Amino acid sequence: MRREEINVAVIRVGGTNCDLETKRAFEDSNMKAEIVHFNQLCREKDLLDYDILVIPGGFSHGDYVRAGAIWAKRLMARLGKKIRQFVDEDRPILGICNGFQVLVEAGLLPQFEGISSFPEAALGTNIPTGYNCRWVYLKLEDHSHCAFTRKTASKRVLKIPVAHAEGRFILAREKKRKQLEKLMENHQIVLRYCHSNGETANDEYPSNPNGSLYDIAGISNPTGTTFGLMPHPERAYFGWQLPDWTRNDGPPTFGDGRFIFESVAEYLTKKF
């Protein structure tokens, strides 16, 4: 498959608000991206006509019940069969911020024993409480297994912003130790919050902006094709999106977020 042939579905519902910049990032990486309303995908369009499924950031369905919960249940009720096929065929699925919350609520992440009917993890209220919008440092952990981070990174620490109130990755209290070990064994922990020098944040605010377990910022399923992360790579795609370029000699061409989009393009061009 050539890069120009890759079809990306950036799906949206009421409350989604990061679809346009996500589409632009994929397009700049020479892929064909389309914003598709969820209802279109349920009626006249076919999910299986696309090579990548992206659930972008926002506040789907007003974040009612729990962030991502309503869209997750609708997604699996209306498109569950096709989503399962999408996953079985190793086609990549990306969930950014609210999209990550949707993937977790839908049982598509972490997938300890395949796709689960009920959530196996949660993205809880931030500690400290409140909406946190800031640039954070991210350490690439087990990244070579994941379709979205497999490309050889020019650096091990990425600078990408977060913007959320419910991003604290948690596991069930009684299973926490075992499940965390399983995530490590399966190489599912892809991104962790860290200090600017690359040392893990060790739950220290603001390097870890939400109190996430083990400083987890992004995980994949065991095969590495479904990936969710709280930070917004589409907001760090171009150099001019960086917060500090006016203090330097001008913006660099690209930001660290581009790595995610380039990686998945490389995955698809090599695999299919």
Partner 1 sequence: MLYEARVEVGLKPGHSDPEGETTAHSLKELTYPIKEVKVSKTYTITLKADSHNAATIIIEEICKRMLANPTKDSVNFKVAEVK
Torsion angle of the four alpha carbons 172, 175, 176, 179, in this order, in degrees rounded to the nearest 10: -110
Taking CB under 8 A as the criterion, the residue among 11, 70, 93, 265 binding partner 1 is 70
Region binding partner 1 by CB under 8 A among candidate stretches 23-31, 80-88, 89-97, 113-121: 113-121
Q: Residue 64: which residues within 8 A CB-CB, separation 6 or more?
A: 70
Give catalytic status of residue 234 as yes or no: yes
As measured in angstroms, the least distance from the Cβ of 70 to partner 1 is 8
Q: How far is CA 213 from CA 47, 194, 224, 266, in A?
A: 33, 13, 20, 30
Is position 69 an interface residue for partner 1 (rule: CB under 8 A)? yes
211's enclosing H/E stretch is: none
Is position 121 an interface residue for partner 1 (rule: CB under 8 A)? yes
Within 10 A of 115 (CB to CB), how many other CB atoms are there?
Answer: 17
DSSP 149: T
Is position 128 an interface residue for partner 1 (rule: CB under 8 A)? yes
Site for partner 1 in 206-235 (CB under 8 A): 211
Taking CB under 8 A as the criterion, the residue among 1, 48, 65, 184 binding partner 1 is 65
Taking CB under 8 A as the criterion, the residue among 17, 30, 129, 248 binding partner 1 is 129
Is position 256 an interface residue for partner 1 (rule: CB under 8 A)? no
Select which of 97, 141, 166, 194 is catalytic. 97
Is position 118 an interface residue for partner 1 (rule: CB under 8 A)? yes
Q: Give the whole-angstrom CA distance, residue 44 versus residue 59.
A: 25
CB-wise, 59 or 205, nearer to partner 1?
205
Backbone phi and psi for residue 95, each to the nearest 5 degrees, phi listed first: -125, 120
Q: How far is CA 155 from CA 138, 219, 238, 259, in A?
A: 11, 19, 17, 10
Is position 204 an interface residue for partner 1 (rule: CB under 8 A)? no
As measured in angstroms, the least distance from the Cβ of 39 to partner 1 is 19
For residue 213, with 0-12 CB atoms within 10 Å meaning exposed, 13-18 middle and 19 or more buried, which class applies?
middle
Give catalytic status of residue 232 as yes or no: yes
Do you know the residue count of the chain?
272
Give catalytic status of residue 5 as yes or no: no
Taking CB under 8 A as the criterion, the residue among 39, 125, 144, 200 binding partner 1 is 125
Q: Measuring CA to CA, which residue among 31, 81, 21 is closest to residue 52?
A: 31
How many residues touch partner 1 under the rule CB under 8 A: the total is 22
Strand-strand pairing, 226-229 and 93-96: parallel
Strand-strand pairing, 132-140 and 189-194: antiparallel
Q: Spell out, one character per residue from 163 to 202, where the chain touches partner 1: x when CB under 8 A holds, - when not.
A: -------xxxx-----------------------------
Is position 105 an interface residue for partner 1 (rule: CB under 8 A)? yes
As measured in angstroms, the least distance from the Cβ of 264 to partner 1 is 28
CB 258 within 8 A of CB 232: no
As measured in angstroms, the least distance from the Cβ of 234 to partner 1 is 27
Binding site for partner 1 (CB under 8 A): 65-66, 69-70, 73, 105, 118-122, 124-129, 170-173, 211
Positions annotated as catalytic residues are 97, 232, 234
